[in-house]
Structure 1
Amino acid sequence: MSTPQSSPTRRALIWVLPVVIVLVAIALVALSLTGKTKPQANEPAPTSTTDAQRTPEPEAQPQEPEEVTVDEYVEVLMQNRGPDLSRRIADEPGSFGEVEAPVTMVVYSDYQCKFCSLWTQQTMTVLMSDYVEHGKLRIELRDVNVFGEPSHQAALATHAAEKQGQFWQMHQAMFPDGATLPADQLTAESLTGLAGELGMDTDQFAADMSSEEVVASVTQNEAEGQSIGVSSTPSFLINGIPMTGAQPANVFTAIIDAELALVQ
Structure 2
Amino acid sequence: MTRSIRGARRRAHRSLAPALCLVLLALAGCSDETTSPAAAVGEAPAAPTAVAAPSAPSPSTPAPEADGEVDVAALMSGQVLPDVVIGRTDAPITIVEYASMTCDHCAAFHANTYPTLKRDYLDTGKAKLIVREFPFDPRAVAASMLARCTPGENGRTAMVDALFAQSESWAHADDAANRLLSIARIAGFTEESFRACLSDADLQAKVVATKDRGASEFGVDSTPTFFIDGKKYRGALPPEQFAAILDAAAK
TM bucket (normalised to shorter chain) is: 0.5 to 0.7
Match of 1:135 among 112, 118, 125: 125
Determine the structure 2 residue equivalent to 1:41.
Answer: none
Determine the structure 1 residue equivalent to 2:111.
Answer: 121
Match of 2:214 among 222, 225, 248: 225
Q: Tell me: CA distance 1:195–1:238, structure 2 relative to 1, closer, same or farther (3 Å).
A: same
- 2:165 maps to amino acid: P
- 2:124 maps to amino acid: H
Higher relative contact order (CA closer than 8 Å, sequence separation 6+): 2
- Determine if the alignment matches structure 1 residue 82 to structure 2 residue 70: yes
- 1:200 maps to amino acid: F
Where do 1:37-186 residues align within 5 Å? Answer: 70-71=61-62, 73-74=63-64, 76-77=65-66, 80-84=68-72, 85-87=75-77, 92=82, 94-146=84-136, 148-162=137-151, 165-176=154-165, 179=168, 181-184=170-173
Q: Tell me: CA distance 1:117–1:129, structure 2 relative to 1, closer, same or farther (3 Å).
A: same
Q: Tell me: CA distance 1:126–1:213, structure 2 relative to 1, closer, same or farther (3 Å).
A: farther
Number of aligned residues = 188
Provide the rounded CA distance (Å) in 1 between the counterparts of 2:175 and 2:231: 32
Q: Tell me: CA distance 1:254–1:168, structure 2 relative to 1, closer, same or farther (3 Å).
A: same
Uncovered stretches (5+) of structure 1, i.e. residues with no partner: 1-68
Q: Tell me: CA distance 1:200–1:117, structure 2 relative to 1, closer, same or farther (3 Å).
A: same
- Measured after TM superposition, the shift of residue 119 of structure 1 is 0.2
- 1:159 maps to amino acid: R
- Measured after TM superposition, the shift of residue 238 of structure 1 is 0.4
Provide the rounded CA distance (Å) in 1 between the counterparts of 2:110 and 2:134: 16
Provide the rounded CA distance (Å) in 2 between the counterparts of 1:113 and 1:179: 10
TM-score w.r.t. the length of structure 2 is 0.64
Q: Tell me: CA distance 1:94–1:184, structure 2 relative to 1, closer, same or farther (3 Å).
A: farther
TM-score w.r.t. the length of structure 1 is 0.61
Q: Indicate if the aligned counterparts of 2:101 and 2:164 stay in contact, CA closer than 8 A.
A: yes
Uncovered stretches (5+) of structure 2, i.e. residues with no partner: 1-59
Q: Indicate if the aligned counterparts of 1:156 and 1:215 stay in contact, CA closer than 8 A.
A: yes
- Measured after TM superposition, the shift of residue 190 of structure 1 is 4.2
For the aligned residue pairs, the C-alpha RMSD in angstroms reads 3.0
Determine the structure 2 residue equivalent to 1:62.
Answer: none
Provide the rounded CA distance (Å) in 2 between the counterparts of 1:230 and 1:106: 12
- Measured after TM superposition, the shift of residue 160 of structure 1 is 0.9
- 1:81 maps to amino acid: E
Q: Indicate if the aligned counterparts of 2:96 and 2:228 stay in contact, CA closer than 8 A.
A: yes
Q: Tell me: CA distance 1:135–1:205, structure 2 relative to 1, closer, same or farther (3 Å).
A: farther
- Measured after TM superposition, the shift of residue 165 of structure 1 is 4.0
- Measured after TM superposition, the shift of residue 178 of structure 1 is 7.7
Look at both structures and tell me which one has the larger radius of gyration over its CA atoms: 1
Task: Report the 3-state secondary structure (helix = DSSP H, G, I; strand = E; otherwise coil) of the residue aligned with 2:119.
Answer: helix
Q: Indicate if the aligned counterparts of 1:112 and 1:180 stay in contact, CA closer than 8 A.
A: no
Provide the rounded CA distance (Å) in 2 between the counterparts of 1:225 and 1:162: 26
Provide the rounded CA distance (Å) in 2 between the counterparts of 1:154 and 1:208: 10
Task: Report the 3-state secondary structure (helix = DSSP H, G, I; strand = E; otherwise coil) of the residue aligned with 1:236.
Answer: strand
Provide the rounded CA distance (Å) in 1 between the counterparts of 2:178 and 2:77: 31
Q: Tell me: CA distance 1:93–1:156, structure 2 relative to 1, closer, same or farther (3 Å).
A: farther
- Measured after TM superposition, the shift of residue 131 of structure 1 is 1.0
- Measured after TM superposition, the shift of residue 176 of structure 1 is 2.3
- 2:185 maps to amino acid: G
Q: Indicate if the aligned counterparts of 2:85 and 2:129 stay in contact, CA closer than 8 A.
A: yes
Task: Report the 3-state secondary structure (helix = DSSP H, G, I; strand = E; otherwise coil) of the residue aligned with 2:98.
Answer: strand
Where do 1:245-264 residues align within 5 Å? Answer: 245-261=235-251
Higher deviation after alignment, 182-191 or 98-107:
182-191
- Measured after TM superposition, the shift of residue 70 of structure 1 is 4.0
Provide the rounded CA distance (Å) in 2 between the counterparts of 1:223 and 1:186: 28
Provide the rounded CA distance (Å) in 2 between the counterparts of 1:106 and 1:142: 7
